[in-house]
Structure 1
Amino acid sequence: MDSMSEQARSQLMGKIRGKDTKPELFVRQLLHAAGYRYRLHGRIPRGTLEKLNRQYPEVRLRGGKLPGSPDIVFPARHQAVFINGCFWHRHDCPAGQRAPATNAQFWADKRNRTHERDRQAIETLRDLGWETIVVWECELRDPKATLETLAHFLGPPARDKDIDGM
């Protein structure tokens, strides 16, 4: 039996932000301290956007952002990082497998839609020639391992002028 009232749960869920979350800020701090420079929330430079639009006219890039609005973008490298909460994105860790007992079907449907949207965004990015990596909230308990994983994915930090893909 769930001890939280529907109103209390609604208030709690309403406080959850879509961007600039604590896990995102933590990963950004790790990367910046290691010398990486990046763009946020799927934004890419106009030149890169125009090039993608010419190469892939069938893909709609809304608002100058990549599909799925990756949390961190490295335009020159054609690499994107998604930082996902285990619960919302159905990670296979214990936190991701736990679901609310109240209104169970609603939450199952909502989480399934998020999972499918994530899958489609990553597939579209791959089709556009971009590499992606997902960093899970539970992995952030080990900052050293997280940074090692990201550094392996990204390669060495680039010069500042490489941020915009120029």
Structure 2
Amino acid sequence: MPDDRDLNRTKSPRPSSESASRRMSRTGQRDTAAEMKIRRRLHGMGFRYRVDQPVIDHPRRRADIAFTRARVAVFVDGCFWHGCPDHGTWPKSNVEFWRDKIETNRRRDLDTNRCLEVLGWKVVRIWEHEDPDVAAERIAAVVRARLHESKRG
């Protein structure tokens, strides 16, 4: 398993503009708008979960939403940061840095999925642009199925 420090070796470039710098610095890692909408719907459906939960022993490997008993880890991925095939964009400034950063995030996501699956977790990845009602229903179905399996097994 690669060490996360090896995945992000590129030095940060100078921001292309002050507004870009402000926009990037305001982007949080947790409690994003997409995450909050999904969490509200799940809570309204009666589900209880952990937030920003470490699921494996590596930096930046925290599930946005974790159902520990069912062993379901949910990640709500930002279209820009994780390279959404439908909505991801490639910046025109500092192109090499951003391509490396986004590709590194993608590799880390795949590695996290593999690690969790080996540990018996089910991973659900949601894009930030997905309808929160549909996403919550998808997550709920996975959690219910996992809980049902654990009762039989």
In the superposition, the TM-score normalised over structure 1's length comes to 0.72
Deviation at 1:42, TM superposition (A): 1.6
The residue type paired with residue 40 of structure 2 is Q
Query: Is 2:99 aligned against 1:108?
Result: yes
- Identity among equivalent positions (%) equals 33
> Compared with structure 1, are the counterparts of its residues 103 and 62 closer, same or farther at alpha carbon in structure 2 (3 Å cutoff)?
closer
Higher Cα Rg, which structure: 1
The residue type paired with residue 133 of structure 2 is K
Superposed, 1:1-166 pairs within 5 Å as: 6-43=17-54, 61=57, 68-93=61-86, 95-96=87-88, 98-139=89-130, 142-155=131-144
Structure 1 unaligned blocks of 5 or more: 45-59, 159-166
Aligned length: 133
Deviations, residues 11-52 of structure 1 (Å, cap 9, x unaligned): 1111111111111111110100001000111247xxxxxxxx
Deviation at 1:89, TM superposition (A): 0.5
Residue aligned with 1:42, SS: strand
Q: CA RMSD in A?
A: 2.4
Moved over 6 A (4+): none
Deviation at 1:127, TM superposition (A): 0.7
Does the CA contact (< 8 Å) of 1:68 and 1:122 recur in 2?
no
Deviations, residues 57-86 of structure 1 (Å, cap 9, x unaligned): xxx7269xxx71010111111111101111
Residue aligned with 2:73, SS: strand
Structure 2 unaligned blocks of 5 or more: 1-14, 148-153
